[in-house]
Amino acid sequence: MHRKMATLLAGALLATGATAHAAGDEEEKAVEYRESVFHVMGHNFKPMGAMMKGEIDFDAEEFATRAERVSQLAHMPMEGFMEGTADVADSEAKPGIWENWEDFQGKMEDLQETSAELAEVAQGGDKGAIAPKFKAVGESCKACHDDYKED
């Protein structure tokens, strides 16, 4: 069920990106696409953080669903960092992305790896085992935000 939901969500985002691409102004639509993917990732990540902090009750099934979504979504933003998007107005991406492309790409790969590990361990429902994997994903996000995202 979790994979089906993630697949449906990914398909919807891809369809949105494809429609935006056809609509014109390719670079602006690419920025819109990647920002949308990051927004959906944050929407799923925030409740997981609240569960880990004890702000809301830990629900192992919901956590696993959200972790799987984040893992699937982590593969999608790179498509929106296409050539020509560095100069799009109102983008939160710093120019350093294109100046340090290999480092940026490596950080995105770290996000993909850590989120996949989190999704895997979350299937077991053990909050103690989940905690270090969740922290690793958060650190992966922060590393990229610190270097490559405007405040």
What are the sequence ranges of the domains in the chain? 2-148
The tokens describing 131, both together, are 């905690």
Would the pLDDT of 4 be above 90? no
| Binding residue ranges for heme c | 141, 144-145
> pLDDT tens digits for 14-66?
554 544 444 349 999 999 999 999 999 999 999 999 999 999 999 999 999 99
Fold of 2-148: Four Helix Bundle (Hemerythrin (Met), subunit A) (1.20.120)
Three-class secondary structure of residue 129 per DSSP: helix
Encode pLDDT of 88-146 as tens digits: 988 999 999 999 999 999 999 999 999 999 999 999 999 999 999 999 999 999 999 99
| Annotated binding-site members | 141, 144-145
What pLDDT score was predicted for residue 22?
Answer: 41
- Specify whether the CB–CB gap between 147 and 107 falls below 8 A: yes
As a whole number of angstroms, the distance between CA 69 and CA 10 comes to 9
When comparing pLDDT for 3 and 86, which is higher?
A: 86
SS3 93: strand
User: How much is the pLDDT for 151?
Assistant: 81
Long-range contacts, 22-26 (Cβ 8 Å, 24+): 26/82, 26/84
Taking CA atoms, 14 is separated from 25, 113, 141, 147, in Å, by 17, 21, 22, 27
